[in-house]
Amino acid sequence: MKKTFHGSCHCGAVQFSCKIDLAQGTSKCNCSICSKSRFWKAIVKPDAFRLIKGQGELTDYQFGSERIHHHFCRYCGVKTFGHANIEGLGEFYAINLACIDDVAAGELAEAPVRFEDGRHDRWEAAPTETRHL
């Protein structure tokens, strides 16, 4: 069941709400940006995401194919979410679960995690090693 969560960057300049069903799963990827930032995400559609504060405080970073917008707070540097519209997947937001302020640790511990081999563009497959992700 979807639940409304509220999140923010470290300094609070960026704030958002999102509706996530953690039981539907989360994911961790081994691509260069996700592995360096230890990005643990939940994917939501646009109607389940609302930026409450900080549109002007976000910095957009893109690399590689430049299909995904990685949004960071320009003050504290925290990546709160990513945003993309990719053929076959449609438009979505990737919520940084570490930025959700009102989720219980137990809820996160119970959320299923799917691993993605983004380093080799094999998003449907798990990497050989996942313990470090």
Predicted local distance difference test score (pLDDT) of residue 43: 96
Residue 34 lies in a domain: yes
Predicted local distance difference test score (pLDDT) of residue 109: 95
Residue 92 lies in a domain: yes
Encode pLDDT of 24-65 as tens digits: 999 998 888 888 888 999 999 999 999 999 999 999 999 877
Residue 91 lies in a domain: yes
Across the range 94-105, mean pLDDT stands at: 97
Residue 133 lies in a domain: no
- Residue 65 sits in a domain of what CATH number? 2.170.150.70
Q: How many domains does the chain have?
A: 1
The domain containing residue 72 runs over which residues? 3-120
Encode pLDDT of 3-19 as tens digits: 999 999 999 999 999 99
Describe the strand order of the beta sheet including 68-73 as a list of residue ranges.
58-61, 68-73, 79-86, 90-96, 40-44, 26-29, 113-116
Residue 129 lies in a domain: no
Q: 78-108 burial, b if ≥16 CB within 10 A, otherwise e?
A: bbbbbbbeeeeeeebbbbbbbbbeebeeebb
Residue 126 lies in a domain: no
Residue 115 lies in a domain: yes
